[in-house]
Amino acid sequence: MANHKFKVGQLVNFLPARSGMPTEGRQYEVLRLLPPEAGEPQYRVKCKGDAFERIAKEGELSRRSAP
C-alpha cells in the first residue's frame, strides 16, 4: 500500500492531468487522505475561492513554496 506524501491541512499546488481546469497559481488545502487508486495515493483538496472540493491524485500535487 502506498504512503501519502502530503498531510491534512497542508497547502499544495494542484496541476490536474485533465486540461481546461483553471488551477494555476491557486492555493489548495489538503482536506482528507483517500485510498490509493491503481497504487497512487489520492486526496480531497479545496481552494478557498471554490464552493466545492476536488479529488486529486498525488502526481497532480506539489509542495507549495513559501511566499
Which pLDDT belongs to residue 64? 82
Which pLDDT belongs to residue 49? 85
Give 7-52 pLDDT, tens digit per residue. Answer: 999 999 998 877 666 656 689 999 999 999 999 999 999 998 889 9
Residue with cell 499544495: 12
* Whole-number Å distance between alpha carbons of 29 and 10: 6
Which pLDDT belongs to residue 45? 97
Residue with cell 506539489: 62
DSSP-assigned letters across all residues of 25-44: T--EEEEEEEEEETTEEEEE
Which pLDDT belongs to residue 26? 81
Which pLDDT belongs to residue 65? 74
* Whole-number Å distance between alpha carbons of 58 and 25: 18
